[in-house]
Amino acid sequence: AQSVSQHNHHVILSEAASLELGCNYSYGGTVNLFWYVQYPGQHLQLLLKYFSGDPLVKGIKGFEAEFIKSKFSFNLRKPSVQWSDTAEYFCAVTVNTGGFKTIFGAGTRLFVKA
């Protein structure tokens, strides 16, 4: 069965620290990859996405992610986090199993200390 694994459930960083959130998926076919973010009290929203082309994708608010096909990974990075990045981050993968289905990871709660 297809699955998405996020390596950390909770991450605590100080402001200006660098961030990397791991995401691995299990599916051998073509995928579309997403990172979504959910700020406290708000709805889920798209951070960035990868469909094809340059495997290094830039998103909003200084986030980027790199697709490494050989490792089935799509890790999220940010060089310097801010207090306002405190949120829950979800990696998601869309696969085609006779119909398109999007599978989400368990999420990573990021807390940034001011």
Partner 1 sequence: DVKVTQSSRYLVKRTGEKVFLECVQDMDHENMFWYRQDPGLGLRLIYFSYDVKMKEKGDIPEGYSVSREKKERFSLILESASTNQTSMYLCASSSSGTEEAFFGQGTRLTVV
Minimum CB distance to partner 1, residue 33 (Å): 11
Minimum CB distance to partner 1, residue 44 (Å): 4
Nearer to partner 1, 42 or 70 (CB): 42
Minimum CB distance to partner 1, residue 16 (Å): 29
Nearer to partner 1, 12 or 46 (CB): 46
- E-strand ranges in the chain read 3-6, 10-14, 19-21, 23-26, 32-38, 45-50, 56-58, 64-68, 73-78, 87-96, 100-104, 108-113
